[in-house]
Amino acid sequence: MALLEVKELKTYYYTLRGVVKAVDNVSFSLERGEVLGIAGESGCGKSTLAWALLGLVPPPGRIAGGRIVLDGIELTKLSEHDLRKKVRWKKVSMIFQGAMNALTPVFTIEDQLAEPLMIHKGMHKNEAREKIAQMLKAVGLDETIMKRYPHELSGGQKQRVIIAMALLLNPDLVIADEPTTALDVIVQAQIMNLFKQIKKKYNIGMIFITHDLSLIAEIADKVAIMYAGKIVEIGSSDQVFGNPRHPYTQGLLRSIPRIRSKEKITWIPGVPPDLVRPPPGCRFFPRCKYVKEQCRKEEPKLKEVEPGHFVACHLYG
Amino acid sequence: MPPIRVRGMTEPVVKVRDLMKYFPLRRGLKEIITMKPKRFVRAVDGISFDMYIGEVFCLVGESGCGKTTTGRLITRLLEPTGGHIYYKPTREVASQIPEKCFVEDGYVDLAQKLPKHADKLLRREIQIVFQDPFGSLDPRMKVYDILKEPLIVHKIGGSEEERREIIYRALSEVKLVPPEQFMNRYPHMLSGGQRQRVAFARAMILKPTVVVADEPVSMLDVSIRAEILQLMLDLQANRDLAYLFITHDLAVASYLCTKIAVMYLGKIVEMGPTDEVINNPQHPYTKALIAAVPEPDPKNRFKIREVPIKGEVPSAAAIPPGCRFHPRCPYAMDRCSKEEPPTLEVKPGHYVSCWLHVRK
């Protein structure tokens, strides 16, 4: 059985302007030891998807349908109390966007890291201290950092503390939402190396969310491309990068400048649609160069174009 | 008559020499009473480079290396602490500037105090595009008024019709067509890419010779970045223009720029033609930067990336002695922590500041 099974998940924001369908009928599964990369432009619903997995969609949003099954437990059926006691941080932890600001400035690193251990595991502070020291070492930090306050650490060190915090309770699933956006290139490469080591060492599932396809290629085994609240292409990373089928994926890959190639980069004209009133049919058709009559009327379903490689596009099938 | 010279492609349009900008740090009461010396953040600490018409000159570096400060010094949004910015004005402007402003060969030193009207004329020639198109356009002004403001300030176009004509042309040039459709919109009614186009139109409307583009694509979605980069090249193709492109992204730099200067803690550590710097980097810092750039190749997931340098950039308020890179450098020698390395030309046009390249 898969570690995580998401079926037809819908997460909508009920605003005064109308219903924003931020995540609309998204399905995927994830095995233990696998990294799923989710890529898409800003506003495509990738962060909302992450919040939905933790049951933390900010109001006026909520999960409007579908199922999330983690390790046999149906998260969508749990009460808020059970979610907090049994799931969050114990089973699913998250590395939030802008993790630089995720630490409290008024507590030392030790106090902050001890909290989840004391509350969830009922550990005494001294036991917790030992566990924290181990974890800090695992993410490449020195023990002495325990007594420091967040403002005494550099950006990269803070990010490592956040990663240590996410791994503290040995969760089954770690969600990382744009974990390196605020970091410099060199620090980013160091943090990506840390993620690779974690992937090797701990047998956990990981969801890596970013707008940067190059970073996804660095870590993900499986890639899902999101556009306007839907997954338009999903497959192994060799399939998606080596043989992209959806016009949006192709466009995205052609828009990335590469350091050693002078190949001309192109762009996708137009802007993503308003999710209150998405276009009928395929949501990408106003920007697509292969658009045909069918695309304006009928919504394409995800179809398997090769084993394990699904594309939602009328060009195929 | 002032000495007017035709500006050729062979002469730099901007010559920056030993440019410096120190920001004073606030002192505590105790420090003031005990008469401790003033401390400074040495944001830009003596840099020199040349810019030519038709070129895209790129400053790359990590955050806090002084690249944005350099851009602001050249547009004179900041007063330099020391050094010179020699600029060669166009013939039209040169004829209106008093002779005493010229230093040599038709260059004006922008770092010196200039008479007011000359100053205004020169400011017109150097424009800037900011990083954040959401913050750099006034949300309460329509696109038309945003573009009209520089015309009013510099008294260009006599009548309203004439100005409207200029604004029309500027908007079509940045491909916001038809212009009537965009003129009456407010910035919030535009997408990020369209806003950045307005920002470029605003910079170009005064027909500048130098445009500083400070991370113009870093806030935009990946799928439309190429659109703005192409726009920059198209704008340059039709006029005499030099770009100073500021970025932290080496991949974008190598795609767009003709020359690259790598900055570290307020100094240029390596500078040269793009292909030279990317394919034949000489400074250990440049090598590390290039090694750290992720590439969209899924094979990378199986290997740990070799990042030869450790740690993070130290604070610009406490710059290490000697070579400022030595605490992170894998090849650091005794000498590096004591003396600052000289800048050497390793190949024609390719400069490096590193003791490794100094012959004993």
Closest approach of chain A CAs to the CA of B290, in angstroms? 8
Asked whether residue B313 carries a pLDDT value surpassing 50, the answer given is yes
Residue where one domain finishes, among candidates A125, A155, A170: A170
CB B316 within 8 A of CB B325: no
Per CB-CB distance under 8 Å, the chain B contacts of A157 are 312
Whether residue A36 is found in the same domain as residue A152: no
For residue B150, the model assigns a pLDDT of: 93
Cβ of B227 and A187 within 8 Å?
A: no
Q: Is residue A211 part of a domain?
A: yes
Distance CA B221, CA A272 (A): 10
Whether residue A72 is found in the same domain as residue A191: yes
Give the model's confidence band at A75: pLDDT under 50 very low, under 70 low, under 90 confident, else very high.
confident
Q: Determine which of A181-185, B4-8, B61-65, B282-286 has the lowest per-residue pLDDT on average.
A: B4-8
Which strands make up the sheet holding B82-87, listed edge to edge?
A: B40-51, B14-24, B82-87, B107-109, B102-104
Provide the b/e sequence for B15-35 (b: ≥16 CB within 10 Å): bbeebbbbeeeeeeeeeeeee
Q: Is residue A317 part of a domain?
A: no
CB B330 within 8 A of CB B284: yes
CB A50 within 8 A of CB A175: yes
For residue B93, the model assigns a pLDDT of: 86
Q: What is the mean pLDDT of residues A104-129?
A: 89
- Neighbour tally for B79: CB within 10 Å: 9
Asked whether residue A233 carries a pLDDT value surpassing 50, the answer given is yes
Candidates B280, B301, B302, B329: best to mutate against A (most CBs of A within 10 A) is B301
Q: What is the mean pLDDT of residues B326-333?
A: 89
Give the model's confidence band at A138: pLDDT under 50 very low, under 70 low, under 90 confident, else very high.
confident
Distance CA A157, CA B7 (A): 50
Cβ of A214 and B295 within 8 Å?
A: yes
pLDDT digits (tens, 9 = 90+) for B10-49: 789 999 999 999 998 888 888 888 888 888 889 999 999 9
Whether residue A132 is found in the same domain as residue A164: yes
Q: What is the mean pLDDT of residues A170-195?
A: 88
What is the rounded average pLDDT for all residues in chain B? 88
Measured between alpha carbons, how far is residue B63 from residues A40, A175, A184, B154, B235 in Å? 25, 27, 7, 34, 28
Distance CA B253, CA B245 (A): 8
Cβ of B248 and A184 within 8 Å?
A: yes
As for how many domains chain A has, the answer is 2
Contacts 24+ apart (CB under 8 A), B93-97: B93/B121, B93/B122, B93/B124, B93/B125, B94/B2, B94/B4, B95/B1, B95/B2, B95/B4, B96/B121, B97/B2, B97/B121, B97/B122
Asked whether residue A159 carries a pLDDT value surpassing 80, the answer given is yes
Provide the b/e sequence for A47-83 (b: ≥16 CB within 10 Å): bbbbbbbbbebeeebebbebebbbbeeebbebeeeeb
Looking at residue B194, its amino acid is: Q
Domains of chain B: 14-140+186-294+304-357 (3.40.50.300)
* φ/ψ (deg, to 5) at B42: -90, 80
Q: Is residue A305 part of a domain?
A: no
Closest approach of chain A CAs to the CA of B232, in angstroms? 14
Cβ of B294 and A260 within 8 Å?
A: no
Q: What is the mean pLDDT of residues B302-323?
A: 82
Q: Is residue A224 part of a domain?
A: yes
Which residues are CB-contacts of B124 (< 8 A; sequence separation ≥ 6)?
A: B93, B154, B206, B208
Whether residue A119 is found in the same domain as residue A57: no
Residue of A nearest to B190 (CA): A271
Per CB-CB distance under 8 Å, the chain A contacts of B62 are 184-186
Distance CA B285, CA B308 (A): 9
Give the model's confidence band at B103: pLDDT under 50 very low, under 70 low, under 90 confident, else very high.
confident
A51: β partners: none
Give the model's confidence band at B7: pLDDT under 50 very low, under 70 low, under 90 confident, else very high.
very low
Closest approach of chain B CAs to the CA of A210, in angstroms? 11
Whether residue A121 is found in the same domain as residue A43: no
Cβ of B223 and A212 within 8 Å?
A: no
Whether residue A138 is found in the same domain as residue A230: no
Looking at residue B24, its amino acid is: P
* Nearest-by-Cβ selection for A193 from B229, B251, B304: B304
Give the model's confidence band at B98: pLDDT under 50 very low, under 70 low, under 90 confident, else very high.
confident
CB B285 within 8 A of CB B331: no
Q: What is the mean pLDDT of residues A86-112?
A: 86
Give the model's confidence band at A236: pLDDT under 50 very low, under 70 low, under 90 confident, else very high.
very high
pLDDT digits (tens, 9 = 90+) for B107-144: 999 988 888 888 899 999 999 999 888 889 999 999 99
Give the model's confidence band at B106: pLDDT under 50 very low, under 70 low, under 90 confident, else very high.
confident
Whether residue A195 is found in the same domain as residue A112: no
Asked whether residue B360 carries a pLDDT value surpassing 60, the answer given is no
Asked whether residue B2 carries a pLDDT value surpassing 50, the answer given is no
Q: Is residue A72 part of a domain?
A: yes
Q: What is the mean pLDDT of residues B63-88?
A: 92
* Nearest-by-Cβ selection for A220 from B291, B301, B307: B301
Distance CA B313, CA B316 (A): 9
pTM of the model: 0.88
CB B317 within 8 A of CB B299: no
Percent of chain B at pLDDT above 90?
52
Cβ of A241 and B298 within 8 Å?
A: yes
- How are beta strands B82-87 and B107-109 bridged, if at all? antiparallel
CB B109 within 8 A of CB B84: yes
3-state secondary structure (DSSP) of residue B190: coil
Which residues are CB-contacts of B37 (< 8 A; sequence separation ≥ 6)?
A: none
Distance CA A123, CA A129 (A): 10
Per CB-CB distance under 8 Å, the chain A contacts of B298 are 217, 220, 237-238, 241-242
Q: Is residue A275 part of a domain?
A: no
Distance CA A45, CA B318 (A): 43
Closest approach of chain B CAs to the CA of A267, in angstroms? 5
Residue A27: CATH number of its domain: 3.40.50.300
Closest approach of chain A CAs to the CA of B24, in angstroms? 21
Q: What is the mean pLDDT of residues A276-291?
A: 89
Per CB-CB distance under 8 Å, the chain A contacts of B223 are 41, 251-252, 255, 267-268
For residue A99, the model assigns a pLDDT of: 65
- How are beta strands B14-24 and B126-129 bridged, if at all? unpaired
3-state secondary structure (DSSP) of residue A155: helix
Q: What is the mean pLDDT of residues A217-239?
A: 92
Residue of B nearest to A272 (CA): B191
Closest approach of chain A CAs to the CA of B86, in angstroms? 32
Per CB-CB distance under 8 Å, the chain B contacts of A268 are 223-224
What is the rounded average pLDDT for all residues in chain A? 89
For residue A184, the model assigns a pLDDT of: 83
Q: Determine which of B72-76, B133-137, B274-278 has the lowest per-residue pLDDT on average.
A: B133-137
State CA B211 to chain mean position distance.
8
Whether residue A153 is found in the same domain as residue A175: no
Residue B358 structure tokens:
């100094």
Whether residue A25 is found in the same domain as residue A138: no
Residue where one domain finishes, among candidates A170, A195, A226: A170
Give the model's confidence band at B201: pLDDT under 50 very low, under 70 low, under 90 confident, else very high.
very high
Whether residue A109 is found in the same domain as residue A150: yes
Which residues are CB-contacts of B145 (< 8 A; sequence separation ≥ 6)?
A: none
Residue whose token pair is 């690779």: A196
Whether residue A190 is found in the same domain as residue A255: yes
pLDDT digits (tens, 9 = 90+) for A31-44: 988 999 999 888 88
Q: Is residue A309 part of a domain?
A: no
Per CB-CB distance under 8 Å, the chain A contacts of B278 are 259-260
Whether residue A224 is found in the same domain as residue A120: no
Residue of A nearest to B285 (CA): A186
Residues in B lying within 8 Å of A, measured between beta carbons: 62-63, 191, 193, 221-227, 229-230, 248-252, 254-256, 278-279, 288-298, 300-301, 304-305, 307, 309, 312-313
For residue B9, the model assigns a pLDDT of: 60
Q: Which domain holds residue A213?
A: 4-91+171-262
Residue pairs between chains A and B whose CB atoms are closer than 8 Å: 130
For residue B4, the model assigns a pLDDT of: 36
CB A41 within 8 A of CB B222: yes
- How are beta strands B14-24 and A303-306 bridged, if at all? unpaired
CB B228 within 8 A of CB B220: yes
Which strands make up the sheet holding A73-74, listed edge to edge?
A: A18-30, A4-15, A61-70, A73-74
pLDDT, greater one: B238 or A22: A22
Q: Is residue A57 part of a domain?
A: yes
pLDDT digits (tens, 9 = 90+) for B143-177: 999 999 999 999 888 888 999 999 999 999 999 88
Cβ of B289 and A186 within 8 Å?
A: yes
- The continuous run of DSSP H or E covering A37 comes out as strand A35-39
Residue of B nearest to A258 (CA): B251
Distance CA B178, CA A294 (A): 30
Per CB-CB distance under 8 Å, the chain A contacts of B255 are 257-258, 262, 265
Cβ of A218 and B254 within 8 Å?
A: no
Asked whether residue A250 carries a pLDDT value surpassing 90, the answer given is yes
Asked whether residue B244 carries a pLDDT value surpassing 70, the answer given is yes
